[in-house]
Amino acid sequence: MTTSPALPAAPVADQRPHETVLHGKTLSDPYFWLRDQSYPVVDDADILDYVKAENSWFDAAMKPHAKLVETLFQEMKGRIKEADSSVPQKDGDWVYWVEYEEGAEYKKWYRKPAAGGEPQLILDEVAMADGKEYFRLAELSISPNGKLMAYSFDDNGSERFEARVRNLDTGDLLPDVIPGTLSSLVWTSGNDAILYGLANENWRTDNVRLHKLGRPVAEDKLLYKEPDIGFGVGIGKTAADNYIVIATGDNETSEVYLLPADNPEAPMQLVSARQKGREYSVDERNGMLYIHTNDDHPNFRVATASVKAPGDWKTLIPGSDHSYITGLSIFRDYFVIEAREDGLDQVDVRGYDAPLTPGRIRFPEATYVAGLGDNPEYHQDKLRLDYESMVTPDTVYDFDIATGRLETLKVQEIPSGYDASQYVTEWVNLPSRDGKTLIPASLVYKKGTKLDGSAPLHLYAYGSYGYRIAPGFSTTRLSLVDRGMIYAIAHVRGGDDMGRAWYLAGKTTERKNTFNDFIDVAKGLIAKNYTSAGKISIEGRSAGGQVMGVVTNEAPELWGAVLAGVPFVDVVNTMVDETLPLTPGEWPEWGNPITDKAAFDYMLSYSPYDNVTAKAYPPMLVSAGLNDPRVTYWEPAKWVAKLRATRINDAALLLRTNMGAGHAGKSGRWGALHEDAEEFAFVLTQLGVEK
C-alpha cells in the first residue's frame, strides 16, 4: 500500500515556528499549532481542515482494499453471537442480566424477581444511543432496596458523564440530573441519596459530593476535596455495605477514608495517612478491616486492623517473592485471594478460622487467564468465575464452596464455527539484551504453520501502569491466525505480568526497558525461526502506542506494518504542561520534567515525536479521537505530520481521526469491529497476506 499515482497528494501540515526553553534546552515544535487553544472545544478551521484532509487521505488509501475490509468485517461479525445474553446473577431480591438483540450495537439490561416472575427491562442502551454517533454507558447502580437505578452515560467520547435516576417500579425518570460526573454512583443505605464525583476543569475527579434525591444539584454537599493536583478520587462500598469507601491516590500512593453508609454526613474516618510509594485498599467484615497493601513487599501482603484502630495493621498473609497478590475479595464466610505466580493466575478461597477452605481452585489447562467474575452478594455459596486461554473461548464458571467443584455455566459461542484443536498456544521466554532477564511472550497459531522463519507474525504490547495484557481469547485475531499469521503478546516490563517488580522495572527512569524488551522479543522470535525481519506487524494503543513510536524510531527495519492506536507519543510536551487533563497524575509513572532535569533529559531521549529522524520508516496506520481526553488528538496528528515531512521513503502513512469519539474509538459492537477490520486489512496488505 505504498503511495500510488492514482491517489491524491498526501496532506502536508504547515510548519510554524514555536520554541520552548526548559532546563536550558530549546525545543522546536513546528506543529504546535495543531493543538486548538480552546480545547476541549476544537473549532479552529485550519486544524479541522488538516484533520479532515488526513481522513480523506486515509479513505482514499483504503478504498482499493474495501473488499478485504468487508470480508474481514463479516468474518469477525460471524464469530459473534448477535442475539446473546450474559449469565444471570442474583443480587438481593432480583436476578440481573444483559442481552444483545440480533443486529444490535448496544445492550439491554434486564432483571426479574429471584422468587420468580416476568423479566423487566430496566435500561435500553439501544434506544439511548439511537441517532447518536457515539454512546457509552458508564455506571449503573441499583439502590439497596432495589427500587431505584442511578446510571450515567457519555454521548460524545469526552468521558464527562451525565447521571440520571429512574424509578424501577414505575419506569419513570426522576427530575434529578447531574452533569459532568466522572465516578461511580454509590447509594447510601437510606435509598435516598447518591455519592458521586464531578470532573474538574482538568478532567480529574478531585471531589466527593452527596446528592439527596429531589434536591437541586447546586445544593449538593461537598464531602471531600483532594488538595493534591496529581491525585484522583474514587468511591465504593465495602462488601457488607456497611461503609462507603473514599479512596484517593495517584499511580503509586493511596489514602482511604470510611463513611457509615447509613450516615454519609458523619465525619470521615481516615484508615491510614498517605505515605509516598505506599498503596493500599480496604474492605470490612464484622468490625475488622482487611487491607491489601504493598507497604513491606512490592508483591503486596494482606493485613488486618480493627475499625476502631484502623492504622494498626497486623499481617494476615505476608508478601512473597513468588506470589504476587493482585486482589482481595471479602465475603461473609470466606475471603478470596487472587494472585499471579510465574505469570499464571491463581484463585485461593480461604476461611477466616482455617488456613485453607477449600484452597486453590484448579483449572483445566496449563496456561490460562482466570479470576473472579460478577459476585455482588456478601453471602454466596457459589463463586462466579471467568476463564479463558488463547485457544479457549471465554467460559463462565460457578465454583461450589461446599464441594469444591467447578460448574460450567456458559462457553462463548462462535456461530461461524471454531475448533480449538486446530490451534496451538505457547508461552516462550526470550533473552533480553541485559543477559539476565527473560521476557515472556504468549503465542497462538494454527496447526501446520511452518516455523521456519517464513510465517508473518503480529506482535502486541502495552507495558505501562502495571497493566497486564493477559493471554486470553480473541475472535478478531482469528482473521490473522487463520491466514497463517502467528499472533504474539510481548509481556514487557512496565506491565505487572511477572509481578510488581516487573512493573517497577519499566517506569520512570527504567522506562527504556519496556522498549528494549519489545525489540528483544521480536529478535528472539526471529532467532527461534517463528518469523523474519520485515514480516512482523506490531500494535499498541495509548501508552502501548508510545512503544510503537519508540521502536519504529529505533528498529524500523524489523517491522512490516505498524498499528499505533491513540498513541502517547508527544511525551515531553505533554508532561511539561500541567494544565492538561492527566499530566499531574502521570508524573509518578513517567517522571516530572518540569522540576527534574534528569527526568526531562531521559524523557527527551525516547519521546517518539522528538526523536523522528530522516530514515526509512515502516508502513504505519495511526488512529486518534477528536474528543479524547487521555491522549489528545494533536499528539498523533503532530507525530504523523513530522514523520511525513522527515522520513526518506514513501511507505503508507495513514492517520484516521474519529471526529465524534474519544480514546476508545467508535462505540457499539459493529462500529468498533469495522475499525478492527480496517486495521487488519492494512496489516495483511502490507505483509502481502491477502487471502
What's the average model confidence in pLDDT over 124-135? 91
pTM for the whole thing?
Answer: 0.91
DSSP 26: E
For 267-311, the pLDDT digits (tens) are: 999 999 999 999 999 999 999 999 999 999 999 999 999 999 999
Contacting residues for 493 by C-beta, under 8 A, at least 6 apart: 437, 439, 463, 502, 503, 505, 506, 510, 513, 514, 517
What's the average model confidence in pLDDT over 363-369? 86
Would you state the pLDDT for residue 670?
82
Would you state the pLDDT for residue 2?
43
Cell numbers describing residue 360: 486453590
Residue 9 predicted with pLDDT over 90: no
Q: Of residues 250, 496, 570, 628, which has the active-site annotation?
A: 628
For 60-110, the pLDDT digits (tens) are: 999 999 999 999 999 999 999 999 999 999 999 999 999 999 988 899 999
For 627-656, the pLDDT digits (tens) are: 877 789 999 999 999 999 999 999 999 999
Query: Binning pLDDT at 50, 70 and 90, where does residue 4 land?
Result: very low
What's the average model confidence in pLDDT over 16-21? 95
**Closest among 590, 580, 567 to 639, alpha carbons compared:** 567
Return the SS3 of 527.
helix
Q: Of residues 152, 183, 189, 542, which has the active-site annotation?
A: 542
Contacts 24+ apart (CB under 8 A), 423-430: 423/390, 423/391, 423/447, 423/481, 424/391, 424/449, 425/367, 425/389, 425/390, 425/391, 425/471, 427/343, 427/367, 427/471, 428/524, 428/525, 428/528, 430/520, 430/521, 430/524, 430/525, 430/528
For 461-513, the pLDDT digits (tens) are: 999 999 999 999 999 999 999 999 999 999 999 999 999 999 999 999 999 99
Query: For the chain, what percentages of helix, strand and coil (3-state, to nearest 5) are there?
Result: 20, 35, 45
| Fold category of 49-78+417-687 in CATH | Rossmann fold (3.40.50)
CB 546 within 8 A of CB 492: no
For 510-557, the pLDDT digits (tens) are: 999 999 999 999 999 999 999 999 999 999 999 999 999 999 999 999
- The lowest-confidence range among 65-74, 228-237, 652-661 is 652-661
What's the average model confidence in pLDDT over 606-625? 97
What's the average model confidence in pLDDT over 343-356? 84
Q: For residues 550, 556, 559 and 565, what is the CA-based torsion angle, rounded to 10 degrees?
A: 30
Would you state the pLDDT for residue 366?
79
Could you state, in order of their start, the residue ranges of all structural domains in the chain?
A: 49-78+417-687, 132-276
Q: How far apart are the first and last CA of the chain?
A: 16
Cell numbers describing residue 129: 444511543
Would you state the pLDDT for residue 357?
61
Residue 358 predicted with pLDDT over 70: no
Would you state the pLDDT for residue 64?
95
Residue 39 predicted with pLDDT over 60: yes
On the question of a cis peptide bond just before residue 40, with omega within 30 degrees of 0, the verdict is yes
Fold agreement (49-78+417-687, 132-276): no
**Closest among 131, 223, 214, 130 to 167, alpha carbons compared:** 214
628 labelled catalytic: yes
- Strand ranges across the sheet with 280-285: 280-285, 288-293, 301-306, 314-317
542 labelled catalytic: yes
Cell numbers describing residue 73: 468485517
The total of other beta-carbon atoms located within 10 Å of residue 598's CB is: 11
Run of H or E residues at 70: helix 66-78
Query: Binning pLDDT at 50, 70 and 90, where does residue 6 land?
Result: low
Count, residues in the chain = 691
Cα 19 from Cα 513, distance rounded (Å): 30
Cα 512 from Cα 463, distance rounded (Å): 11
Q: What is the SS3 string spanning 179-207?
A: EEECCCCEECCCCCEEEECEECCCCCECE
Residue 662 predicted with pLDDT over 60: no
Residue 354 predicted with pLDDT over 70: no
Would you state the pLDDT for residue 356?
47
| Fold category of 132-276 in CATH | Methylamine Dehydrogenase; Chain H (2.130.10)
Contacts 24+ apart (CB under 8 A), 226-232: 229/202, 229/204, 229/578, 229/584, 230/584, 230/585, 230/587, 230/588, 231/206, 231/585, 232/204, 232/205, 232/206, 232/585
What's the mean per-residue pLDDT of the chain? Answer: 94
Query: Binning pLDDT at 50, 70 and 90, where does residue 364 land?
Result: confident
For 307-332, the pLDDT digits (tens) are: 999 999 999 999 999 999 999 999 99
Q: Of residues 211, 458, 663, 674, which has the active-site annotation?
A: 663
For 167-176, the pLDDT digits (tens) are: 999 999 999 9
Would you state the pLDDT for residue 266?
97
Residues linked to residue 396 through DSSP beta bridges, in sequence order = 386, 410
Distances (CA, A) of 188 to 141, 207, 224, 289: 11, 17, 16, 20
65 labelled catalytic: no
Is 117 buried (19+), middle (13-18) or exposed (0-12) by CB count in 10 A? exposed
Residue 407 predicted with pLDDT over 50: yes
